[in-house]
Structure 1
Amino acid sequence: MTRSIDYGNLMHRAMRGLIRQVLQDVAADGLPGEHHFFITFDTMHPDVEIADWLSDRYPGEMTVVIQHWFDNLDVSEEGFAITLNFGENPEPLYIPFAAIRTFVDPSVEFGLRFETQEAEEEVDLVEVEETAEKQDAQIVSLDSFRK
């Protein structure tokens, strides 16, 4: 068995660590200058905690903005909790870092995008199909077994 370095996984961990550090700094000192964040996350991730009406309205993914008003930002190793205002209704959210799909700070043109699990499965499927094409396949008709 050949070992290899999983650069993709290492990069994702490093990027999530960067987001964690940025949010920890914001929790401690507030948003500096014109910085603000657009965070898109998978609302179906099992550890996401959002109000039922939000998950009904955004059944696949949702983008939140951390800018003018937010409260109770609490950052842990695994994710962050925050209260955001939705049409004058403060709502608490918990977003695990593993659920984040994009993190963008447009004030400095900085952004991170995480590859989704679906894309990885598509790549795996393509690799399996290519391997199958290389092998000699024998197709057996079910009609030959019918009486």
Structure 2
Amino acid sequence: MRQTIDYGNLMHRAMRGLIQQVLQDVAEEGLPGNHHFFITFDTMHPDVEIADWLSDRYPGEMTVVMQHWFDGLEVTDEGFSVTLNFGDSPEPLYIPYDAIKTFVDPSVEFGLRFETQEEDDEDEEAPMDEMVEDDTPDAAPKEAEVVSLDRFRK
């Protein structure tokens, strides 16, 4: 029997499930209304599949936008694949949910932020008010609020 409940990992699993469901709905029905997504992910994650020139240009992390044009969105239990346009050059991507750092839909001021264990260790001794996250990736409008559920972990 475990001595503690790992709320952080349970929340991350639930948040990834939410992203999977949203993307599945978009794959089946398209993006409704003004919805669009800014997805920041770890380009060095071992299961990420992107063109070499993209990983060279964005070592570490990259933010993609799913809005006006995307193609071939396929959603699985482990991640999703999609073709996006980079300067009139369509490029296929595969992004596992474990590689996602932020998922933001600024049209409804919704955002999720995933923090790695290393970041958790650094935040462990930070006061609660310093750990509140309210910024989105640079490409996203500033009014979108990112919910960082890791701040509630001890």
TM-score of the pair, normalised by structure 1: 0.81
What CA deviation, in whole Å up to 9, does each residue of 1:8-65 have, x standing for no partner?
Answer: 0000000000000000000000000000000000000000000000000000100000
The structure-2 alpha-carbon separation of the partners of 1:70 and 1:2, relative to structure 1 and needing over 3 Å to count, comes to closer
Distance 1:114 1:84 in 2: 23
Q: How does 1:32-47 map to 2 (within 5 A)?
A: 32-47=32-47
Structure 2 unaligned residues grouped into runs of 5+: 127-154
Distance 2:4 2:22 in 1: 31
SS of alignment partner, residue 34 of structure 2:
coil
1:18 equivalent in alignment to 2:18: yes
Distance 2:8 2:117 in 1: 12
SS of alignment partner, residue 44 of structure 1:
coil
The answer for the alignment partner of 1:58 in structure 2 is 58
The answer for the alignment partner of 2:143 in structure 1 is none
Q: How does 1:29-108 map to 2 (within 5 A)?
A: 29-108=29-108
Larger fraction in helix: 1
The answer for the alignment partner of 1:137 in structure 2 is none
How many angstroms does 1:113 deviate by? 0.3
Structure 1 unaligned residues grouped into runs of 5+: 127-147
The structure-2 alpha-carbon separation of the partners of 1:124 and 1:46, relative to structure 1 and needing over 3 Å to count, comes to farther
SS of alignment partner, residue 102 of structure 2:
strand
Alpha carbon RMSD of aligned pairs, Å? 1.8
Distance 1:62 1:11 in 2: 23
Runs of 4+ in 1 over 6 A off after TM superposition: none
How many residues align? The count is 126
The structure-2 alpha-carbon separation of the partners of 1:4 and 1:61, relative to structure 1 and needing over 3 Å to count, comes to same
TM-score of the pair, normalised by structure 2: 0.78
- Percent of pairs identical after alignment? 79
Distance 1:62 1:117 in 2: 20
The answer for the alignment partner of 1:116 in structure 2 is 116
